[in-house]
Structure 1
Amino acid sequence: MSLDVWVVTGLWILGIPVGGYAFIHALRQRSDAFTAAGKLTKNAWLGITGVALLLLILITSGPMRSGAIFWLAAVVAVLVYIVDVKPAVVGVQRGDQRW
Structure 2
Amino acid sequence: MIPVYGVLGLIFTALAIGVFALAVWALVHAVKTPARAFAVTGKQTKNLWMIILGLATLFGFSAAVGFIDPLSIFTIASVIAAGIYLADVRPAVKGIGKGGNQGPYGPW
Which category describes the TM-score, using the shorter chain as reference length? 0.7 to 0.9
Relative to the length of structure 2, the TM-score reads 0.72
Residue number in structure 2 paired with 1:33: 37
Structure 2 residue identity aligned to 1:63: P
Give 1 or 2 for the bigger CA radius of gyration: 2
Alignment of 1:47-86 (within 5 A): 47-59=51-63, 60-61=65-66, 62-64=69-71, 68-86=72-90
After superposition, give the CA deviation of every residue in 1:23-43 in whole Å (9 maximum; x if it has no partner).
111001110101111110011
Please state whether the residue corresponding to 2:44 is helix, strand or coil: coil
Count residues in correspondence: 93
CA distance in 2, matches of 1:86, 1:14: 19
- Do residues 18 (structure 1) and 22 (structure 2) align? yes
> Which runs of no fewer than 5 residues in structure 2 stay unpaired?
1-5
CA distance in 1, matches of 2:103, 2:49: 21
**For the aligned residues, what is the CA RMSD?**
2.3
Please state whether the residue corresponding to 1:39 is helix, strand or coil: coil
C-alpha contact (below 8 Å) 2:38/2:44 kept by paired residues: yes
The sequence identity of aligned pairs, in percent, is 34
